[in-house]
Chains A and B, each alone.
Chain A
Amino acid sequence: MMPLRKDTAMKRQPTHIFEKDISNCGLTGFISKKGKRVEGQVIIKSISLMHDRGNGLGGGFGAYGIYPEYPDFYAFHMMYENGMAQQLTEEYLEANFHIEQQEEIPTRRTKAIVNPPAFKRYFAKPMETDEYKEAVDYQGMTEEDMIVRHVMAINHEIEGAFVVSSGKNMGAFKGVGFPEEIADFFRLEEYSGHIWTAHNRFPTNTPGWWGGAHPFTLLDWSIVHNGEISSYGINKRYLEMYGYLCTMLTDTEVVAYMLDLLIRKHGLTPDLACTALAPPFWSLIDQMPDNERELCTALRQVYGSALLNGPFAILFASNQGLIGLNDRVKLRPLVCAEYEDFVYMASEESAIREICPNPSRIWSPRGGEPVIAMMEGTA
């Protein structure tokens, strides 16, 4: 809010801002299934078209294939709110990782971005510490499990330090501002990737802060989301049983961890994981043929606490591909399109047409029906 001038300070302020537009989050993303790398300018153009779906309190991007020079290293994008957070995190990383390369994430000083935290990235591999050997050799944990454990530890235990992303050959760039401002700040036009997602935030229930911008990530999972997860409490408690700690103050975080649990840990296919998140209603399940009914019944019974209630459209990406999903009754928009080996997904058709004027196919998926676009050569 603008500071009041002294001579108007006593005047009654209007109770409504009549100029205010109706807004809501916006998301967009695309994948080249053949792995063609596309420069950041393209996704910026797409999300900028939906400028008015956000309110300047959060913008962010997920980018895959941007670090081909470090394909085997976990790329930790770190956000630090103070020097102590950085010092403690670096001590922690050095104790647990071999760090091949570390550097500030290049940023550009701009008028639009006020008081940004510090950003650094580390390309790292876990070291075979005693703790690592104990966990891997005797507790049946994998390297990825160890990364998850470290991410949770940093986010939870180091005040003012947040892991923005932690996957290989990918990164998340996010903060408080409109997405085009965040892109400018992070010099996103300098990156090229084969999967891009973007988000324009209009926070409704939770604070607009740097860590609360989308995407939310874990390993190479990244989620952008429009809507609200009203089952957050149930989902969060369920995830806590498996060691996932929610620290970002925002509902979307649970989706990232849930997909990690369902797909990476429990081995569900992306399709089945989506069915667990947005399963058919019981009334529909009752009408299904026997084998489908048994499958859906089992999924709902086992994963009742993974069900996402409330309106949502989400895009989730990994090095394997890009997936779009709506809630079961489609309370948020999602449009998809195809052109050659590219698949596009966005809140509005115009955001796709802005970067792909003549797609060979454009359609709106049904509520609860995932749109799955995997890289060629992966399952």
Chain B
Amino acid sequence: MKIDAQGLYYRDLNLQIREAVAAGADKIDLDNVNGQYFIGDGINKPVTITINGVPGNDLAAFMNGAVVVVNENAQDNIGNTMNAGKVIVHGHAGDVLGYGMRGGRIHIRKDVGYRVGIHMKSYQENKPVLIAGGKAGDFFGEYMAGGVLILLGMFTDDPAKAKHGYLFGTGMHGGVIYVRGGVDESRLAKEVGVFELDENDRKELEVYLKDYCLDLDLDLEEVLKEPFVKVLPRSKRPYGNMYCTMPK
């Protein structure tokens, strides 16, 4: 089904989406979206929502199993505490993506902003994956506790910009970050270190990237042409001794 979102207030739009989902729609196309907040939030059915236009902030928060496809750029706070499902963005996206994300996939084709993957986490079979095809701002993987962050640095509107910002991995204490073509070690936070991939890493990475390339119609071979590095936290408890020494 189709909804024309031209000039529609976000509450009215989201009400229409929720009613369509409740009525059993498995495909919803939204046309002329511009800036409406909270699209796809809390939706727990396997519906595919395609957005033509720029969706507003807090897209796909608390989402649990739906697929959101954005054929344009997207804004801030995508996939806050997302549980399952997928967000595909064909343009760039803003700050604070995947905040506290606990499962599912976020695939961004181009650049992403600050604090991407902040406090992502994983538990048993729930393992979130966020892939950015362009460049990233500061605090990539901030306070990351679990899951997988992947940065390609390939598809950018700003070739002069560095692949990633400062304070990369600040407070990271779990999960893994893969970066295509290496990292600038002078920009890493002191809580993380750089490692080579082992065979298991390569296999796992390839699975994620294959899915990403399929979604965004990209050439997997091209993406895999450059070697990746792995960034891991040095400690599971980086601030344990910040205020006083922890008892042994």
**A residues with CB within 8 A of B:** 49-50, 52, 284, 287, 329-330, 333, 335, 348-351, 353-354, 361-364, 366-367
Given A49-B35, A284-B166, A349-B54, A367:B138 Cβ within 8 A? yes
Given A52-B10, A363-B157, A353:B54 Cβ within 8 A? yes
Partner of B186, one of A287, A350, A361, A362: A287
* Chain B residues with CB under 8 A of A335: 94
Given A329-B114, A330-B137, A366-B165, A350:B157 Cβ within 8 A? no
- 7 A-B pairs besides A348-B76, A351-B35 with CB distance below 8 A are A50-B35, A349-B75, A349-B94, A353-B34, A354-B35, A367-B114, A367-B138
- Does B73 interact with chain A (Cβ within 8 Å)? yes
Partner of A362, one of B53, B73, B138, B165: B73
- Does B171 interact with chain A (Cβ within 8 Å)? no
Q: Are A364 and B137 in contact (CB under 8 A)?
A: yes
Centre residue among A350, A353, A354 by max chain B CB count within 10 A: A350
Partner of A333, one of B73, B94, B111, B166: B94
In the complex formed, the residue of A with least CB distance to B115 is: A330
* Chain A residues with CB under 8 A of B206: none
* Shortest Cβ distance from residue B97 to the other chain A in the assembled complex, whole angstroms: 12
* Chain B residues with CB under 8 A of A362: 73, 92, 157
Centre residue among B95, B111, B186 by max chain A CB count within 10 A: B95
Partner of A330, one of B56, B95, B157: B95
* Shortest Cβ distance from residue A344 to the other chain B in the assembled complex, whole angstroms: 13
* Chain B residues with CB under 8 A of A354: 34-35
- Does B158 interact with chain A (Cβ within 8 Å)? yes
Partner of A52, one of B34, B37, B53, B186: B37
C-alpha gap A49/B165 in the complex (Å):
30
- Does B122 interact with chain A (Cβ within 8 Å)? no
In the complex formed, the residue of B with least CB distance to A51 is: B9
In the complex formed, the residue of B with least CB distance to A24 is: B57
A-B CB proximity, top 8 nearest: A350-B35, A330-B114, A350-B34, A350-B54, A49-B35, A364-B113, A353-B54, A349-B54
Q: Are A350 and B137 in contact (CB under 8 A)?
A: no
- Does B99 interact with chain A (Cβ within 8 Å)? no
C-alpha gap A129/B54 in the complex (Å):
57
**B residues with CB within 8 A of A:** 10, 34-35, 37, 53-54, 56-57, 73, 75-76, 92, 94-95, 111, 113-114, 137-139, 157-158, 165-166, 186
Partner of B56, one of A350, A361, A366: A350
C-alpha gap A362/B134 in the complex (Å):
14
C-alpha gap A86/B73 in the complex (Å):
50
* Chain B residues with CB under 8 A of A366: 137-138, 165
In the complex formed, the residue of B with least CB distance to A326 is: B114
C-alpha gap A93/B58 in the complex (Å):
50
For this complex, 28 residue pairs linking A to B, each with C-beta atoms less than 8 Å apart, are: A49-B35, A284-B166, A329-B139, A330-B95, A330-B137, A330-B138, A333-B75, A335-B94, A348-B35, A348-B56, A348-B76, A349-B54, A350-B34, A350-B35, A350-B54, A350-B56, A350-B75, A353-B34, A353-B35, A353-B54, A354-B35, A361-B157, A362-B73, A362-B157, A363-B157, A366-B138, A366-B165, A367-B114
Q: Are A363 and B158 in contact (CB under 8 A)?
A: yes
C-alpha gap A220/B53 in the complex (Å):
37
* Chain A residues with CB under 8 A of B92: 362
C-alpha gap A329/B57 in the complex (Å):
19
* Chain A residues with CB under 8 A of B111: 363-364
* Shortest Cβ distance from residue A137 to the other chain B in the assembled complex, whole angstroms: 50
* Shortest Cβ distance from residue A50 to the other chain B in the assembled complex, whole angstroms: 7
C-alpha gap A330/B137 in the complex (Å):
9
Given A330-B138, A363-B158, A364-B137, A49:B34 Cβ within 8 A? yes
* Chain B residues with CB under 8 A of A363: 111, 157-158
Partner of B94, one of A50, A284, A364: A364
C-alpha gap A366/B73 in the complex (Å):
18
C-alpha gap A335/B95 in the complex (Å):
11
C-alpha gap A353/B33 in the complex (Å):
11
C-alpha gap A343/B121 in the complex (Å):
39
* Shortest Cβ distance from residue B103 to the other chain A in the assembled complex, whole angstroms: 23
* Shortest Cβ distance from residue B183 to the other chain A in the assembled complex, whole angstroms: 16
In the complex formed, the residue of B with least CB distance to A335 is: B94
* Shortest Cβ distance from residue A215 to the other chain B in the assembled complex, whole angstroms: 23
* Shortest Cβ distance from residue B225 to the other chain A in the assembled complex, whole angstroms: 27
* Chain A residues with CB under 8 A of B166: 284
C-alpha gap A350/B53 in the complex (Å):
9
In the complex formed, the residue of B with least CB distance to A287 is: B186
C-alpha gap A49/B34 in the complex (Å):
9
C-alpha gap A353/B91 in the complex (Å):
14
* Chain B residues with CB under 8 A of A330: 95, 113-114, 137-138
C-alpha gap A353/B92 in the complex (Å):
14
* Shortest Cβ distance from residue B135 to the other chain A in the assembled complex, whole angstroms: 11
